[in-house]
Amino acid sequence: MSKYDAVFFDLDGTLVDTAPDLAYAINQVLTEYGKLEVPLERLRSVASDGSPGLIRLAFNITPDMNAYDAIQKRFIELYQTHITRESALFDGMQEVLVKLEEMDMKWGVITNKPEFLTTPLMAALSLDDRAVSIVSADTTPHSKPHPAPMLYACAQANVQPERCLYIGDAKRDIEAGNNTEMTTLIAAYGYIKDTDSPEDWQADGIIEHPRDILNWL
C-alpha cells in the first residue's frame, strides 16, 4: 500500500512543458516591436514566472513601467491563440499518470497560472477529465506559496494533505506543499534558474525525470 492517497503537480515546468509556446508568444511580441527574438533556452528558465518574468527578460521592463500593460495584453492574446502549439506532457509523464490511474490513486494540478489559461490548456491536452482537481491562481483568494490552493485541492479530492505528494519546479511550490505538510519533490527537469538553490528549498527530494515519481509511491 502506498503512503499517499493523491499526487498533485504544478503545471508549467512540472506536468507540462509549456515553455515553447510561452517563448513563441513573447518572441512574436518582440518582433512586432521591432526587437530581436530571445532564444528558447534563455526564456525557458523564467517560464514558470509567467508574463512578468518573460516580459522582464525580453523587454527589460517591470509591471510598474508605462509600456508593460500593452505588452502584457498582446503577449496574453498571442499565448491564448497558440497555447498548445507545441506544449505537451514532459517525457515520461504520460506513463506516470497512467500508472497512478492504474493504482486508483487520485492526481490533480495546483498552479499559479490563471484559470482562463489553465482550463483551455488542460482541455486541449485531454487532461481535464482525468484530474480530480485543477486549482488555478485565482481559484482561491491566495496563490502559492499560500497554503489555500493546496487545502482547496485536498478538499476537492477528499484527501488529507499529509497523505499527498506535491511536485513543483519553483521555491513557492515547495513552500506551499511544506506549509500544508505534504511530501514535496523538486522537478529538476523543470524551469529552474541558474541563480536558484533548490537544495535549500527544504523539499523531501529532488527528481531528475518524471518517472522518478514512481519510486516515491
Q: What positions carry a catalytic annotation?
A: 10, 12
* Edge-to-edge strands, sheet with 205-207: 133-135, 106-110, 6-9, 164-168, 183-187, 205-207
**Phi/psi at 111 (5° precision):** -130, 160
